[in-house]
């Protein structure tokens, strides 16, 4: 789908994060597929731990900037690390802020505005054999609760320590094919959900 607006981000800010590597490798694959890709780095946003008292003082400017970035892209791919069998505190905190209403704001007082109708593909990477699969099993219901559409295809990259070459490309063609299948399905679904009703 040419020029599809695809947002890709990882639930980690660690410099050598396997999921950040996977996000960048996925971006290259998606661009080869003809998509217009934005790779969002959560480290570029100054977002504190969610606290309702802090929010009452005023939603941080970077939260509003994040809401806008999420809203502007109809299709997302999230690369979710697995900590203790679930997604990261960073990812949860990001979603909690992004889905929190901004009182009195004409657009962002609707907390789910940034999420509603987005088509989301889930990827994960881990040194272990399961590839972070359990993080996806927890992240999926959270996204569905926020009215996202989840792509049925997903991919969990195991043995991630040996999965990338020095340039960050996935070594195995089979892995690149699995990522491409998720990208293709997300873009396919996003195109159809955005199409005007006949």
Burial label, 3 (beta-carbon count in 10 A; 0-12, 13-18, 19+): exposed
Q: What is the pLDDT of residue 197?
A: 52
Of 134, 86, 119, 127, whose CA–CA distance to 186 is shortest? 119
Q: What is the pLDDT of residue 3?
A: 62
Using one digit for the tens of pLDDT, what is the confidence trace for 139-152? 999 999 999 999 99
Of 74, 92, 97, 79, whose CA–CA distance to 40 is shortest? 79
List, in order of start, the domains of the chain with CATH numbers: 5-194 (3.40.50.360)
Is the pLDDT confidence value at 68 over 80? yes
Token representation of residue 125: 């990477």
pTM for the structure as a whole: 0.95
Give strand pairing partners of 18.
Answer: none
Of 169, 44, 192, whose CA–CA distance to 117 is shortest? 192
Q: What is the pLDDT of residue 198?
A: 46
Residue 91: helix, strand or coil by DSSP?
Answer: helix
Is the pLDDT confidence value at 195 over 90? no
Q: What is the pLDDT of residue 194?
A: 85
Q: What is the pLDDT of residue 4?
A: 73
Percent of all residues in the chain with a pLDDT value above 70, rounded to a whole number: 97
Q: Are 147 and 153 in contact (CB under 8 A)?
A: no
Cα–Cα separations (whole angstroms), residue 167 to 10, 41, 89, 121: 18, 18, 28, 24
């Amino acid at each position: 789908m040419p020029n599809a607006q695809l947002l890709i981000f990882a639930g980690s800010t660690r410099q050598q994060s396997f999921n950040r590597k996977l996000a960048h490798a996925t971006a290259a694959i998606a661009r080869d597929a003809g998509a217009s890709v934005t790779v969002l780095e959560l480290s570029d946003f100054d977002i504190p731990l969610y606290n309702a008292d802090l929010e009452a003082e005023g939603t941080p400017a970077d939260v509003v900037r994040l809401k806008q970035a999420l809203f502007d892209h109809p299709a997302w791919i999230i690369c979710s690390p697995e900590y203790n069998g679930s997604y990261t505190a960073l990812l949860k905190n990001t979603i909690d802020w992004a889905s929190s209403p901004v009182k009195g704001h004409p657009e962002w007082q609707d907390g789910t505005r940034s999420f509603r109708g987005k088509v989301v593909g889930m990827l994960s990477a881990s040194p272990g054999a399961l590839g972070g699969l359990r993080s996806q099993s927890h992240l999926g219901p959270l996204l569905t609760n926020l009215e996202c559409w989840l792509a049925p295809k997903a991919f969990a990259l195991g043995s991630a320590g040996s999965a990338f070459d020095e340039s960050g490309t996935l070594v195995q063609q089979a892995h690149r094919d699995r990522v491409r299948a998720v990208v293709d399905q997300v873009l396919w679904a996003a195109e159809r959900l955005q199409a005007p009703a006949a």
